[in-house]
Structures are given as C-alpha cells and as structure tokens.
Amino acid sequence: MKTAIWFVLLSVLLVTQEALAQKRTRVHDPNAPASMAAPGATTNKAIPGADIAEWVFGQIMAIHAQTDPNLCAIVVLPGPADSFNIRFGLFNVAADRLDFLIMDSFRALKGQSLLHQSVFDTVAPPAGTLAVLYPPDQLGKGPAVLGFTDFTQFESAAFSTDPDTYDDLDFGATVLDMDQTVIELVYSSNIAGSLRCRGTLKFDPALNTSIANIVQVFP
C-alpha cells in the first residue's frame, strides 16, 4: 500500500510543484488562467522540479500519511509560501470511490475570506472524469465544487483555482493566504451512510508545501 501511494503522489506532485517564486507586485490577477492574462503579462506557470517533488512527497508520507488510520485523502498545494500558483494535487487513499470535492476558503486570508472565481487546468483521475460543478464560469462567489467519476483508491487528480477577495476580483492570493481552506469529500454518494471526510489546509514551512490531511468524519 505504501509503495502504491508513493507513486501516485509523486506523479501528481511532478505536475503541481512550482519551482520558482513570484513577486506580489503585478498589475493583472496573477492567479487567473494564462488565457486571461493581458498581452505581455507574466504567467504563473513554471517547469516542475522533480527532485523537489520527490522530497516533498517523501516527507508527507513519513510525517502524515502513515499516522492516521482514518485518512481518506491528501491535498497538497506546493509552495513557496509567496507563490501565486494555486494548483492543488488530490490523492485518494480510501478504499472507496470519491465522487465530490467541496473547497471552501471562507476562513482563508486570516479570516478575511477568499472566493474561488474559477477552476481551470484540470487533470482527471486516470480512469475517470473531473467536472467543475461550481463555479460554472469565471464569476464564482464562494466555494469550488468538483465532481468525479471512477476516482478510486490510489488515484489522483489536479486542478488550479483563481482565489480572489469579495471586493477585489483581481486579488493575487498566495499559497500562504490559502491557509484554513476547508476541503470536504463525499464518497459513494449513491449509497446511504457512505464515507464523508474533511480536512483543513495548512502551510508547512519545513516542507515548503501546504497540506490538508482529509480524515473521516462520518460514519
């Protein structure tokens, strides 16, 4: 089991890890999709660092993944803390089918609240699909809601979001600003009494990555 999780997490960390930091003095929304950027604007994509990703994954496994028997999934948001690249990796550890993810950043930005204006650059689980249920456009005013099919144990998905404040839709949120984001997961939604899990995103300076251990809350 440990070996299987290793390769699943490593494969997506290679997609999600950003190698370079950006400065917070940009005119345009640095979290927005590249297609939304003005001509000549710097995008928030960088070449993944394989060595960094492997190290981060190893630390997550050693410190988190093996210590909680109620662990359902792991969400990672690679650093550095001041990065504008808000790209999540989601890894399903539970022996169950993951159907829905709800990501709520109402308590993020030290309680000032962030909304998810859009979800983009999605990567579905290998044998399934990923649908953005909310926001359906680039005008979101709250949580992000994703739906999956065939998202089974040891599989992974990835996605980016554009988090903004309610008063500034061009706000540049950093990885650290996302702290206290709550992630909730619904498993096997067509079965009564099926698994429900919840966790909170927290930046780990030692790992240079934000991590949410999503643990069972029902039944």
Instruction: Tell me what pLDDT residue 219 has.
Output: 96
Instruction: Tell me what pLDDT residue 59 has.
Output: 66
Instruction: Tell me what pLDDT residue 19 has.
Output: 32
3-class DSSP state for residue 11? helix
Instruction: Tell me what pLDDT residue 39 has.
Output: 32
pLDDT averaged over 10-residue windows placed end to end, the chain, 219 residues:
49 42 52 59 36 56 68 93 95 95 97 95 95 90 96 94 94 96 98 97 94 95
Q: Any idea where the domains of the chain sit in the sequence?
A: 2-218
Instruction: Tell me what pLDDT residue 62 has.
Output: 66
Instruction: Tell me what pLDDT residue 64 has.
Output: 58
Judge contact between 109 and 201, C-beta under 8 A.
no
Report the distance separating Cα 210 and Cα 178, nearest Å: 8
Judge contact between 76 and 88, C-beta under 8 A.
yes
